[in-house]
Structure 1
Amino acid sequence: MWTRIPSSSLRVTGADRVDFVHGQMTNNLRAAPTPGLVACAFLNVRGQIEQFARVYRREQDVYIHLDEGQADALAARLRRYIVFDQVELQDTSVDLRTVHVWQAEAVPGWDLAGGEAQSLALGGAAVLAGRVNRTGTPGLDLHYLAREEEAVLAALPGSERPLGDLDAARVTAGLPDITRDALEGTLPQEVGLDLSGPLPAISYRKGCYVGQEIMARLEARGNARYHLARLDGAGPWPAGSEVTHEGRVVGQAGLHAGPGSVTRIRKDLPQGAAVEVAGQAATLHLTHA
């Protein structure tokens, strides 16, 4: 099974590419092997998420894979911080495509015992593959040239599944999608991006970056008031809808799919709490501590 992923992307080249990108993101790119893959966020000065990305370290470049429509804003941000750095940015959103294969072992040429990022050949096309959990079980994100899409898709195992099926699987597993769940503007610790969360994307041991002071303070005090959970309810409701409990706002719901949606919710609400989302009843399900 495989699903097309709406995407945008940036390619960073130049002698300082690794150090430059490392200095902007929440995770530790310098510690990644070559080839390697790390999930991360790019934050504002208040520690809130502006973009979520998966960053591939390769021999000749750094490839930043983003959700659809995110590349322009991240490129503008990165360019503001280029001073003496020897780096060049290229928006590759038009040239590249991405699909997610639900079972990694089904992809010919993928080494199950190998690294998180590997290069493959599918249908005669060069493919960058990364181990990514989008359904509750790690699968593969495959990145390839748009002009070679027909050959790559013909070589994929199984049949195509719509994006809605993948959303339902990840919601069932309690996995966030920062863009599709409208979780930009939140703290990483509130939406499952902390080290103990379902989508770890932070290193507390790397150097400074925008928002790092807030991350260090939260690590020291452990006082984030919200965490990630799942709401079960018939829906549908729009991503970003307010969640209320006994007349007060207690969180925001993500995209409705499958059993309900993932949600950013106050930690003081117990398992099974009855809430409302856009006027509809839902039940809180604590998928992660």
Structure 2
Amino acid sequence: MWTPLPSSGLRLTGADRVDFVQGQMTNDLRGLRTPGVVACCFLNVRGQIEFFARAYRREADVYLHLDAGQAEGLAARLRRFVIFDQVEIQDVSGELRGVHVWGQDVPGWTPEGPDAQSFELAGATVLGGRVNRTGTPGVDLHFLTRHEDAVRVALGGGETSLTMLEEARVRAGIPDVVRDGLKGTLPQEVGLDVGGPLPVMSYRKGCYVGQEIMARLEARGNARYHLGRLEGQNLSDHAEVTREGKVVGQAGAHADGLSLARLRKELAPGDRVEVGGVPATVQAFAPAPADV
């Protein structure tokens, strides 16, 4: 099975491209093998999430894969920090397409190989990344728009909807910064810390925007919220979670009777809350760590 991904992307070239991005993102790009891929966030000075991306390090460039409509904003942010750096930032959203293949049965992909691979598919060179979007690692494929029809034919007739992918993601407990409305939160509050279902952090990589706040949180471990999951019918997306009239969190996207949520840590499994006035129950769940 495979699902088209709403995507946008940036391509960074120039001699300083790796060091430049390394100084902006939360994870360790410089420490990757080439090719390699790592999930990361770009934070503001308060340590709050502005953008989420998967960063691919390749021989000639760095490719940042984002959700649809995100590349323009990240490009503007990055350009503000270019001073003497030899780096060019190109928005390639219109030139590339992406799909997620459920599982790793992709012609040309080597399941036991590295997390990022370039290979031939349907006469085109594609970029693949091992990504866990459903609870089981699959492959994100990135390719030129002009090769889209040929790639779809090569993948076969197993196209599934984004709704199905979202349902699987929420069941697996894997957060999505854009779809769960998590911009403006701290990574440690929403499952993006080291050991979480979607780790985006390196505490040893050196300075970046928001790094001081991240170091304090690592040292003190005092985030008041964590990633939880709610059960209920017809819950609103991105609505406040309340208990006895007090705001105790923020719900993400609702899918198949479940919502991931940023919740106060004192809430316990079985506690009754409301999401936008609709009853819901805090679920006990242990999300499996995502690979990238």
TM-score by length of structure 1 reads: 0.98
CA–CA distance in structure 1, aligned partners of residues 257 and 130 of structure 2:
25
CA–CA distance in structure 1, aligned partners of residues 23 and 201 of structure 2:
13
Q: CA offsets per residue over residues 242-276 of structure 1, 9 Å max, x none?
A: 00111111000001112311100000000111111
Please tell me the residue identity of whatever aligns with 1:61. D
1:272-287 aligned at under 5 Å gives the runs 272-287=270-285
Q: CA offsets per residue over residues 40-78 of structure 1, 9 Å max, x none?
A: 000000000000000000000000000111111110111
Q: Give the share of equivalent positions with the same residue, in percent.
A: 67
CA–CA distance in structure 2, aligned partners of residues 157 and 36 of structure 1:
27
Specify every segment of 5 or more residues in structure 2 that has no aligned partner in the other structure, as ranges. 288-292
Q: What's 1:46 paired with?
A: 46
Tell me how many residue pairs correspond in the alignment.
287
CA–CA distance in structure 1, aligned partners of residues 244 and 109 of structure 2:
51
1:262-277 aligned at under 5 Å gives the runs 262-277=260-275
Q: Tell me by how many angstroms 1:125 deviates.
A: 1.2
- Which secondary structure state, in structure 2, belongs to the residue aligned with residue 255 of structure 1? strand
Q: What's 2:168 paired with?
A: 169
1:1-12 aligned at under 5 Å gives the runs 1-12=1-12
1:151-170 aligned at under 5 Å gives the runs 151-170=150-169
Specify every segment of 5 or more residues in structure 1 that has no aligned partner in the other structure, as ranges. none
CA–CA distance in structure 1, aligned partners of residues 26 and 285 of structure 2:
24
1:1-289 aligned at under 5 Å gives the runs 1-104=1-104, 106-238=105-237, 240-288=238-286
Q: CA offsets per residue over residues 135-161 of structure 1, 9 Å max, x none?
A: 011100000001110000111145111
CA–CA distance in structure 2, aligned partners of residues 197 and 58 of structure 1:
26
Asked if the contact 1:197–1:288 (Cα under 8 Å) also holds between the matched residues in 2, the reply is no
Asked if the contact 2:240–2:249 (Cα under 8 Å) also holds between the matched residues in 1, the reply is yes
Please tell me the residue identity of whatever aligns with 2:231. D
TM-score by length of structure 2 reads: 0.97
CA–CA distance in structure 1, aligned partners of residues 117 and 156 of structure 2:
18
- Which secondary structure state, in structure 2, belongs to the residue aligned with residue 215 of structure 1? helix
- Which secondary structure state, in structure 1, belongs to the residue aligned with residue 188 of structure 2? helix
CA–CA distance in structure 2, aligned partners of residues 35 and 174 of structure 1:
28
Please tell me the residue identity of whatever aligns with 2:276. A
The range that moved more, 275-284 or 13-22, is 275-284
Asked if the contact 2:43–2:210 (Cα under 8 Å) also holds between the matched residues in 1, the reply is yes
Q: What's 2:290 paired with?
A: none
Q: Tell me by how many angstroms 1:123 deviates.
A: 1.1
Q: CA RMSD in A?
A: 1.0
